[in-house]
Amino acid sequence: MVQWVYNFGAGAADGRAEMKNLLGGKGANLAEMASIGLPVPPGFTLTTEVCTRFYEDKCTYPTELKGQVAKALARVEERSGQKFGDATNPLLLSVRSGARASMPGMMDTVLNLGLNDWTVAALAKRSGDRRFAYDSYRRFVQMYSDVVLGIELSHFEKLLERAKQRRGVKQDHELVAEDLEKLVMDYKARVHVEIGMDFPEDPHEQLWGAVGAVFNSWMNQRAKTYRQLHDIPESWGTAVNVQAMVFGNMGSDCATGVAFTRNPSNGANDFYGEFLVNAQGEDVVAGIRTPQELTIKARKSHGSDLPSLEEVMPNIFRELCTMRQQLETHYKDMQDIEFTIQQNKLYMLQTRTGKRTAHAALQIAVDMANEGLISKSQALMRLKPELIDQLLHPTLDPKAKKQVIAKGLPASPGAAAGKVVFSADEAVRRAKDGEKVLLVRIETSPDDIHGLHAAPGSVWGP
């Protein structure tokens, strides 16, 4: 029998890092982290071969898949001490994509899967926090409706804004449990209006809906565009990772963050990243709240008044630093990691080779060779021709006088000149007409990938 599903968690895994072709980058690295003893929430990976079969057989699955998923899910229940769909101690899941080549933001994710009208009551009781439970529920309904049911996010954003107006607040986290409970009801009513059916309550129906949506996202337009730009074959497919949820938004002893084991901008051997207390992963990149720095050094460098993780949770920070060292020693390269802290316990959700600027790539290669992590020949092989090309991009003379009219986060190497445009579609249209343009956006979005490619330079920020 073909093995379509690979388990990981509790210090063991069926797969390893070198199985990226089969398990995708994320699945292979989750398995690797679990096998070397890092605290990874238990889960399982549906292989890239399932994706290939899914498209070859007109969106159908191998006959053995459902049985293998049921066994893998039972193992997650055993390892987590929770039960999927249970009315007293429910297991909630995340469902994420994971191609063998990193394609950040190009495919879909569903979090908090397994919530319904009875499991949310159990979550509220076990956590002792109704607000947290219903906030998780409204996030799930919104995300599932967008990713799986194909309903425009704007419908839910309007309802969320109305809820804040009724309460007289500006931020999502200022809504109370009663507001969020009503918001869930309003979201579900909107779902019925849009598709003529009720929002699915059965956790197993939710799971297979999410799995199918993530496989389908391999063929969405932004993923196709990204593959074309980066020469990634369509035949590779994506894996799907199903994992027990851990929560960074259960209170002040919880957090979520992203980090690089070295500075991806200049290559300095500094722990570099951001986190938010009492938040879920999407909050860090959504721009709704101001993220906090990991280290005291970074906080002072950026002039931030918000305390660093090193100050807020010093024990967790030391543990994270130990894992930083362990990951670099194991992978022998700078890593890009995602982590969640739930009730003062640290969990690792992802690691992958971190993207970096050309200057940083040169610095990191030299430093790692000097540190003995890699050989000089390995360091040289990491300096790809395209990185050297980036180093030779024209830049502004640092001594030149400049009249600054606005500031944002740069998204391209070197300097660029052109007419400012504010949408990806306009950038593409004008570029086709031979104009040089600069794409300016308030925040990053995977849907802008075509505009980012068309514009010689891009920048984002409020």
**By percentage, how much of the chain surpasses pLDDT 90?**
71
- State the DSSP code for 250: S
CA distance 393 to 362: 15
Two tokens at 364? 């990191």
Q: Is-contact 103 229, C-beta < 8 A? A: no
pTM of the model: 0.85
- State the DSSP code for 103: -
CA distance 147 to 279: 21
pLDDT at 258: 94
- Which of 80, 87, 130, 86 is closest to 246 using CA atoms? 80
What Cα–Cα distance (Å) separates residue 2 from each residue in 21, 62, 64, 114, 418?
Answer: 16, 9, 8, 28, 54
Query: What is the pLDDT confidence band of residue 268, given thresholds at 50, 70 and 90?
Result: very high
Q: Is residue 412's pLDDT more than 70?
A: no
Helix (H, G, I), strand (E, B) or coil at 235: helix
Q: Per residue, what are the HEC states of 306-368?
A: CCCHHHHCHHHHHHHHHHHHHHHHHHCCCEEEEEEEECCEEEEEEEEECCCCHHHHHHHHHHH
Averaged pLDDT for residues 371-385 = 91
> What are 84-138's pLDDT values in tens digits?
999 999 999 999 999 999 888 889 999 999 999 999 999 999 999 999 999 999 9
Q: Is residue 293's pLDDT more than 70?
A: yes
pLDDT at 58: 78
When the pLDDT of each residue in the chain is averaged and rounded to a whole number, the result is 91
- Which of 127, 101, 98 is closest to 112 using CA atoms? 127
Averaged pLDDT for residues 381-390 = 78
pLDDT at 411: 57
Q: Is residue 444's pLDDT more than 70?
A: no
> What are 146-198's pLDDT values in tens digits?
999 999 999 999 999 999 999 999 988 899 999 999 999 999 999 999 999 99
What Cα–Cα distance (Å) separates residue 71 from each residue in 44, 45, 78, 108, 142?
Answer: 10, 12, 11, 25, 29
Helix (H, G, I), strand (E, B) or coil at 396: coil
Beta strands in 69-136 (DSSP E): 83-84, 90-91, 93-99, 109-113
pLDDT at 287: 58
Q: Is residue 457's pLDDT more than 90?
A: no
Averaged pLDDT for residues 370-377 = 96
Averaged pLDDT for residues 257-275 = 95
Measured CA angle at 376 (ends 374, 377), to 5 deg: 100
Residues 6 or more apart from 420 whose CB is under 8 A from it? 437, 438, 440
> What are 312-330's pLDDT values in tens digits?
999 999 999 999 999 999 9
Q: Is residue 409's pLDDT more than 70?
A: no
